[in-house]
Structure 1
Amino acid sequence: MSKKKVVVAFSGGLDTSYTVMKLAQDGYEVYAACANTGGFSAEQLKKNEENAYKLGAVKYVTLDVTQEYYAKSLKYMIFGNVLRNNCYPISVSSERIFQAIAIARYANEIGADAIAHGSTGAGNDQIRFDMTFLVMAPGVEIITLTRDKKLTRKEEVDFLNEHGFFADFTKLKYSYNVGIWGTSICGGELLDPTQGLPEDAYLKHVTAKEQEALLKITFDKGEIVAVNGEQFDDKIKAIQKIEEIGASYAIGRDANVGDTIIGIKGRVGFEAAAPKLIIEAHRLLEKSTLSKWQQYWKDQVANWYGMFLHESQYLEPVMPDIEAMLTSSQRNVTGTAILKLRPFGFETVGIDSANDLTKSKLGEYGETQTGWTADEAKGFIKVSSTPLRVYYGIHKDEKR
């Protein structure tokens, strides 16, 4: 009988290393697939490939979906200025969705009988992987050894060592997930709600030579086209450039407490210079180029877009509808936003755009007006007050 084909979503970490070896030992034909959304270096990917074969995989592949991740998710998170709880760039959650889609697509291509991942039963990732696989690869078995066997790190390490595989799986004080849209940090002091992360918990530190510097980000219809005058056709490279600049000032550090999909509260630290700078620059430009109600309604749907991404609902049919609205809202979001950077922080300075609505000839706020007379202003104010005058004229006892 032919062996069953299983695709393992392989990160190179302890759980997925154990999964590859155990399934190979159990007689599966194991395909180790690393879905890269921009968080793996070339060295890490090479090491993953070497280790996958040592662990018993018959084939290793890197599925590079970084550009797809930008085109189908990051772009809309920028359009929507999406921050979970007005704080956290939705990095890990959105990455996992696109990693899962890539894995499911690959499993379908090779006719896999099963897909395996290394998520535990205590977090959000198990839901993101399982739900995506159920929809994108219906009928394919889902194997989760770490979750089902409630394995400890020691049990996994001991199994690998007993079968001749040795690697540094030392349990560190902090766990990190490095991605194109920020680095998440878990563990350590974050387990105590009264504490924050110390300096040595962060991967990036102040290295900038200047105490202050201007950062100019140029957008065309909401998408980045230049950074400090340098043109970028590749949006991923533009993001990486902004990250390089912002990280040298240790910008983008924070911690977020939020609701997990399974219902418990979770706390995560992060450092995300590029997302924080890009979103605030984009928001600054929108304030001058969008109408009041464009901004209002875009904020409403963008909030839902971020929630659906986090809650593993990217495949919900409403998402393309929200994306269409976000895209339409960007038709006049063209120009340059200027930020001032300093160690550990930044401030918004201003914008330069041909679509700047503050340049109207009808009036300059707090200074002069040419689009209406003083009497017209008085009439407008009086008419606008009519509903209040009606109400309090009848309910005199309720006046505040």
Structure 2
Amino acid sequence: MGDIKKVVLAYSGGLDTSVILKWLQETYNCEVVTFTADLGQGEELEPARKKAAACGVKDIYIEDVREEFVSDFVFPMFRANAVYEGVYLLGTSIARPLISKRLIEIAEETGADAVAHGATGKGNDQVRFELSCYALNPDIKVIAPWREWDLTSRTKLIDFAEKHQIPIAKDKRGEAPFSVDANLLHTSSEGKEMEDPWVAPGEHVYQRIVSPMAAPDEATEITIEFKKGDAVGINGQKMSPAEILTKLNELGGANGIGRLDLVEGRFVGMKSRGIYETPGGTILLTAHRAIESITLDRGAMHLKDELMPKYAELIYNGFWFSPEREMLQAMIDKSQEHVEGTVRLSLYKGNAIVTGRESAKSLYSLEHVTFEEDSVYDQRDAEGFIKLNALRLKLLNKQR
């Protein structure tokens, strides 16, 4: 790595990054700048400032990036209806490019020659952080302590923290907590009893969503308004992107919507089990597909659905700043020009149920689709259409 004089650390104030902060100071004898992003994780961030200051950090960045996170990262992803391996709404993945972007910008502002992160050498986040950083600054140095130090287990990490008098959070059972990542889109929980994919997670794991069985017995009815593929209001009230996701999180969490128990295929090769909570995102995805169903042409919709797994995989694997993701985004955004209108949903015991959709730009023609008599569609036209499509099947059958 050469001589490192100043490092910008992605700092949460939790156990891992608190240990990393002290380790960087001891190992590299360098100045550390901390960056803590308020992504809507729902935690008080001032303790992170106090912890960093107590370790002698002079430049402490704590920034509210919730609006940028939702408008520039979450919403573009939801225009694509992106889900990884059929179910995962990419809550952790989509936060990493924004954090990386600010790390590089702060490094430039402070004259730092390196950035550092707390992702382990077994996970996807190390790839996401570093691919994003290198895409934005090819000359930046990246320090990944989990790939360098000898603190190879959580037990050793805790021992280091106790030796250096670093406070250790406790869970409800008085033990070091399982790993949690949270932002405005989701929470993910991994480790401890969740490492065994057969063991059901206890209710103490869930932080945002009540059990569907304990959700209200009466449905909550809402409407979501869309403009160019993005949600712009709820129940007739205009809101900012972050306000919309915050409100949908409240509604979804109270109605048991958005729990996911997933074994996923990590980019680095192994499978891992995690518990995800994405209440607002689950509602938003359902509503977005509903408004697309009446405003998006069949050919455009089907092409989007074909390309979506690739788009989702690019985000999951850390290629947000790649040319291929940007190319796909341009196509997706073009498809959303007329995706506007209102969707009505009923939220009930873990389900987001579409009950209505309307749009001034709807392609739905009651005149054409009605079972009653009409004057716009000649049913006899279908005969030639079917015969032409059957021709190759007939020839294939005769040849065989």
The farther-off stretch of 79-88 and 149-158 is 149-158
TM-score by structure 2 length? 0.90
Q: 1:214 aligns with which of 221, 226, 229?
A: 221
The farther-off stretch of 264-273 and 164-173 is 164-173
For 2:242, the aligned partner's letter is I
Q: Report whether the alignment pairs 1:271 with 2:286.
A: no
Q: Are 2:15 and 2:167, in contact at CA under 8 Å, matched by a contact in 1?
A: no
Quick one: structure 1 residues 117 and 368, their matched pair in 2 at CA, closer, same or farther if it must change by over 3 Å?
A: same
Match of 1:23 in 2: 24
For 1:179, the aligned partner's letter is N
Q: Distance in 1 between matches of 2:388 and 2:62?
A: 65
Match of 2:394 in 1: 389
Output one character per residue of 1:60-111: Cα deviation in whole Å (capped at 9) or x when no partner: 1114333332233212221111111221111101112211121122112211
Quick one: structure 1 residues 21 and 304, their matched pair in 2 at CA, closer, same or farther if it must change by over 3 Å?
A: same
Q: Distance in 2 between matches of 1:381 and 1:173?
A: 62
Match of 2:314 in 1: 308
Q: Distance in 2 between matches of 1:90 and 1:367?
A: 45
Q: 2:344 aligns with which of 338, 355, 358?
A: 338
Match of 1:398 in 2: none
Equivalent pairs, count? 390
| CA RMSD, Structure 1 to Structure 2 (Å) | 2.3
Match of 2:290 in 1: 284
Q: How does 1:88-237 map to 2 (within 5 A)?
A: 88-151=88-151, 152-168=153-169, 171-172=175-176, 174-203=178-207, 204-205=209-210, 211-232=218-239, 234-237=240-243
Partner-residue secondary structure (3-state), 2:364: helix
- Quote the offset at 1:112 in angstroms: 0.6
Match of 2:382 in 1: 377
Q: Are 1:36 and 1:99, in contact at CA under 8 Å, matched by a contact in 2?
A: no
Q: Are 2:124 and 2:267, in contact at CA under 8 Å, matched by a contact in 1?
A: yes
Partner-residue secondary structure (3-state), 1:258: strand
For 1:387, the aligned partner's letter is R
- Quote the offset at 1:217 in angstroms: 0.9
- Quote the offset at 1:174 in angstroms: 3.3
Q: Distance in 1 between matches of 2:180 and 2:4?
A: 36
Q: Distance in 2 between matches of 1:200 and 1:159?
A: 27
Match of 1:78 in 2: 78
- Quote the offset at 1:173 in angstroms: 5.5
The farther-off stretch of 113-122 and 140-149 is 140-149
For 2:342, the aligned partner's letter is T
Q: Are 2:229 and 2:340, in contact at CA under 8 Å, matched by a contact in 1?
A: yes
Q: Distance in 1 between matches of 2:372 and 2:203?
A: 47
TM-score by structure 1 length? 0.90
Which runs of 5 or more residues in structure 1 are unaligned?
396-400
For 2:9, the aligned partner's letter is V
Partner-residue secondary structure (3-state), 2:354: strand
Q: Distance in 1 between matches of 2:379 and 2:156?
A: 80
The farther-off stretch of 203-212 and 176-185 is 203-212
- Quote the offset at 1:242 in angstroms: 0.9
Quick one: structure 1 residues 3 and 173, their matched pair in 2 at CA, closer, same or farther if it must change by over 3 Å?
A: closer
